[in-house]
Structure 1
Amino acid sequence: MELNPQAVAIPKSTEHLEKGKYGPIFPKTPACYGFTIVANVKPGHADTLRGYGVRLADSLKAEPHLLAPLKLHYLRWVLFDNDTRFMYQGIFDTDFDKYTEDAVVIFTRSGINTAFENLEGFSMDWKTNTQAFIQFLRDHQCNSFLEYGEYPYFTSDEIKKALKLKAAFTEMLEQMQ
């Protein structure tokens, strides 16, 4: 099976997209689904955001599958413009509606608050007001206009399965030697 990298140019207008529960449903691209959120950091909260990153990383060491329902490929958090702005970029296998609903459930159950609490305009009642959480994301979403996938349209579960197969095959070959 030969894999050919693919790219998709995404039009600026979202008017033609099917509407989901919380707005337009962006199509799956070769990179799967995802979004980029850019927002202003509350004054003096940059170090709190960094600390939150450490807390989340520690939580994942203790419970590696904490974020599994999100079907993530990766997350990237960036502070920029002298720590006054924050970028949250995620690539995942579910559509926007499911990802955001699952995120609210995960963080509410785990007792880990969202990093977004440190951003200007974020509703502090997000745990009981999913619509406010989603509206913040929609208001701060920066849509991509090109998405590329080296291994297009493969889900994180398919990638993990392929890696397990590779490891099993490697172990089998090593035992044959």
Structure 2
Amino acid sequence: MTATTGAAQPAQPERPGRSDGVCSEFTVFTKIKPGEADALREDLATLSDATNDGRVHAAVRQIGTLHDARHVIFDNDTRFMFASVFDGSWDAYIDDFAKTVVGERFDKVFSHSEGFPGVTDPGVKDWFVAHQAPAGVFVSAYPDLTVQQIFKDHRVDEAFEEMLDTPEFRAALDNPANAELVASPAFQKLMEEAAA
């Protein structure tokens, strides 16, 4: 049994943004430094190219909580929006970016925003909070699935699909000893889902 001391536990600061199940949204609007919209556009193009070379996807996989992200320049090249969907705590999400190649790219992209202190700066979370605007409505298509669960489900699906194509699986289906299993509603449902 744990003793209670009566001392107040440090509370996690309240962070803006809406959640739907395990998914949370993060939307930041910034002012682009005068004359830097084209440089920002170039850095975003480089980020997009890096996405195609696999390093950013590997880093996103390492972070393991990012569902999606988008960057938008708007208002005649004066403003910038970054929006994403993630799992878990807001603070851990921001911290995780500094630990991978994504953090370097985040720094490069946001360096074109007025006042950005850098992703490893102790004040970066306050800066993001000051520039974050919660969505009026946020809905996830899969509110109960984390990124890790989606990765796992995908791996299981690939393995199952691969197994379906083997002669050993076909022989197991045709084996009279497995007739009861094959006829079960759960197995039938599984096969229907695999065929869909």
Aligned pair partner of 1:74 in 54, 68, 72: 68
Any stretches of 5+ residues in structure 1 without a counterpart?
1-17
Rate the CA distance shift 1:107–1:169 in 2: closer, same or farther, 3 A. Answer: closer
Between structure 1 and structure 2, the one with the greater Rg is 2
Task: Report the aligned-residue RMSD.
Answer: 2.6
**More strand by proportion, 1 or 2?**
1
Any stretches of 5+ residues in structure 2 without a counterpart?
1-9, 171-196
Query: Could you say what secondary structure the match of 2:144 adopts?
Result: coil
Q: Is the 8 A contact 2:64 2:147 kept in 1?
A: no
Rate the CA distance shift 1:97–1:87 in 2: closer, same or farther, 3 A. Answer: same
Aligned pair partner of 2:47 in 46, 49, 56: 56
Q: For CA contacts below 8 A with separation 6 or more, give which structure has more relative contact order.
A: 1
Distance 1:155 1:111 in 2: 25
Q: Is the 8 A contact 2:87 2:146 kept in 1?
A: yes
Q: Is the 8 A contact 1:93 1:155 kept in 2?
A: yes
**More helix by proportion, 1 or 2?**
2
Aligned pair partner of 2:126 in 135, 138, 141: 135
Structure 1 length as normaliser, TM-score?
A: 0.74
Deviation at 1:147, TM superposition (A): 1.8
Distance 1:70 1:171 in 2: 25
Amino-acid identity (%): 30
Q: Give 1:24's aligned residue.
A: 14
Q: Is the 8 A contact 1:70 1:99 kept in 2?
A: no
Q: Give 2:140's aligned residue.
A: 149
Q: Given residue 20 of structure 2, which amino acid in structure 1 is its aligned partner? A: T
Size of the alignment, in residue pairs? 154
